[in-house]
Structure 1
């Protein structure tokens, strides 16, 4: 009995295919360059002495100095502003994820009267701009004696961010198989145990995506601190940077160092959670 060896020949790709692929890569490289260059320029400007930066705005630094970072951190109070943003962002993100996960599970997997109507009422919150609510929000915080406190920056943001967070978590819970709930009930789990032990671990990509979004929005929030905080001790990074820029307008190297300090936490959060974040963003398009 003779052994036969099959050889599968693949047709070579045409020249037009290579041209299309090369064009796509060139376009991606161009957009990458456009996106990265401002960040690179800011970092290089922060590492220059101000005299060298004023002499040539785009020249590569002759020698690197980290004095601008230390001065921005201490004299420019960037360290204090950064810690205030951390104190606001961590509880804000934690409570949003906690409440949105519970609400998303309820809207996505539980059946109760008026479920869809209540969910659409939540969705209406996404249609109301924050500028339309700042006056009642201010008087509410004032009546609770929370003006110029961290709670004035945390509590209103929970309500403002909740519609999107609930919508996102409800979508992920709804995409999970209903059979998982049936199996959990057969094993003796109630709805809460099924949520904690079965459903919640499956939504880690969604939770990670929500974490990155909410941390970024909290970190960049400017309007609420501007409204509710007037003491320098409670200023968050975006608000503090406004005063920082106004005070050191002539020192562009110091401003560049402050901007570099401000963007580091967001970049670190994305690098740490990028795998689950991308999985959470793309999982919706991979289903169905």
Structure 2
């Protein structure tokens, strides 16, 4: 009975993801004058909708901007989260508890509460309307979760690993680089994928902090695209598919590492 309920729950969860994706894909291939595509697969798929959406919405510039922002955020955020997680997990610091508690407060901080102060701060130092205006705030916003993730991973490792290295005379840097990091590959891969997805899907910060439409992220550009072509459902669906495809491809490529990292954290 329990096994059957588990299978039904998994099937329902799968359907809740695949059915909307199928609906968007089917709608993107309908004639552009079809205002209510439904779930039926078109008899004559209009693949040129993707070409029209790509050129009309300027997605080449938008996706390049999303990629620049994501590649600027992910490496720096991973390095900082790893160093902070290692320090809070392994080093004997008197203020380790308060620092970690302060970081965890950041998980409850909504983007909406910091956008206006960020706008004026970045304007005062000349970073407004640049990629750094989004990259730097995102790194800071991602730190609480990243530090929590890496701290949990390092704390779950057997203490004998670091104790043996310390007895051999290894420094803190050598312990991190040669002992702990090799074990952290699944955790780092999972965290990197999450960071990339969150940075790629960034909407609000890019919309407010970058005024140049060509420098905005793909999701924020899609928002403007929807305002301009709100009645053209097939064209909007094609634009949506264009925006989400890179994340789907990246997830499928790193799927095993992602699942391994999630399951490893859950088991530990």
Q: Could you say whether these structures have the same fold, taking a TM-score greater than 0.5 normalized by the shorter chain as the test?
A: yes
| Alignment match, 1:233 | 214
Q: For residues 33 and 120 of structure 1, do their structure 2 counterparts lie closer, same or farther at Cα, with a shift above 3 Å needed?
A: closer
| Alignment match, 1:7 | none
| Alignment match, 1:285 | 266
Name which one, 1 or 2, has greater alpha-carbon Rg: 1
Which blocks of at least 5 consecutive residues in structure 2 are unaligned?
Answer: none
RMSD value over aligned CA atoms? 1.8
**Residues 158-206 of structure 1: CA distance to partner in whole angstroms, max 9, x if unpaired?**
1111111111111101111222112222333211011011101111111
**Residues 59-90 of structure 1: CA distance to partner in whole angstroms, max 9, x if unpaired?**
32112232111111122212221111011011
**Residues 216-263 of structure 1: CA distance to partner in whole angstroms, max 9, x if unpaired?**
211221111122011112111111001111112232111111000111
- In the alignment, structure 1 residue 59 sits paired with structure 2 residue 40: yes
What is the alpha-carbon distance in structure 2 between the residues aligned to residue 123 and residue 32 of structure 1?
32
Q: Is the 8 A contact 2:35 2:231 kept in 1?
A: no
Count how many residue pairs are aligned between Structure 1 and Structure 2: 268
Q: Is the 8 A contact 1:109 1:178 kept in 2?
A: no
Q: For residues 132 and 23 of structure 1, do their structure 2 counterparts lie closer, same or farther at Cα, with a shift above 3 Å needed?
A: closer
What is the alpha-carbon distance in structure 1 between the residues aligned to residue 22 and residue 10 of structure 2?
18
- In the alignment, structure 1 residue 211 sits paired with structure 2 residue 192: yes
CA deviation after TM superposition for structure 1 residue 140, in Å:
1.1
1:30 to 12, 34, 46: 12
Q: Is the 8 A contact 1:69 1:258 kept in 2?
A: yes
Q: Is the 8 A contact 1:205 1:277 kept in 2?
A: yes
1:127 to 108, 115, 121: 108
| Alignment match, 2:250 | 269
Which blocks of at least 5 consecutive residues in structure 1 are unaligned?
Answer: 1-16
Correspondence 1:61-210 to 2 at 5 A: 61-210=42-191
Q: Report the TM-score, using the length of structure 2 for normalisation.
A: 0.93
Q: Report the TM-score, using the length of structure 1 for normalisation.
A: 0.87
Correspondence 1:32-47 to 2 at 5 A: 32-47=14-29
